[in-house]
Amino acid sequence: MTNKTTEEFSNLARFAVEIASDKLASDIVMLDIREMQSFTDYFIIITVDSQRQMNTLLDELSISLKDKGRSAHHIEGSSHSGWLLMDYGEFVIHLFGPEERIYYDLENIWNEGKVAFRIQ
């Protein structure tokens, strides 16, 4: 693992948000949850319209972040389930289908987190 500052992690998380936006994902939210717990700094919550878009975004995020020197510690879920989690340590990316986003309701669960960035 590289020795990076909080600002560098924030910039990498914002880079992931930009990739999702470029790939036409919707309702993208980056929550700063540093003051709430210690396992990660940011949650990035993203809605996709289809399994195909989820797989495309998974590939694009993996490749682009790897090019920046970051690989996911682990990936959970699948496009078939409508939910994917990509854990990068300092930030965690959640990709949801529309129904799964409503069901899991992470923004409500983590409502004490600060919205660092939002793209409708």
Mean pLDDT by 10 residues, the chain (120 residues): 64 94 96 93 96 96 96 95 96 97 95 91
| Residue 1 counted as domain residue | no
Q: Are 99 and 82 in contact (CB under 8 A)?
A: yes
User: Which pLDDT does position 98 carry in this prediction?
Assistant: 97
| Residue 65 counted as domain residue | yes
> Domain of 98?
6-119
| Residue 81 counted as domain residue | yes
SS3 106: helix
CATH number (domain holding residue 106): 3.30.460.10
| Residue 90 counted as domain residue | yes
| Residue 67 counted as domain residue | yes
Integer distance in angstroms from the first to the last C-alpha of the chain? 33
User: Which pLDDT does position 1 carry in this prediction?
Assistant: 40
For the chain, how many structural domains are there in total?
1
User: Which pLDDT does position 102 carry in this prediction?
Assistant: 96
Per-residue burial over 38-62, b = 16 or more CB atoms within 10 Å of its CB, e = otherwise: eebbbbbbbbbeeeebbbbbbeebe
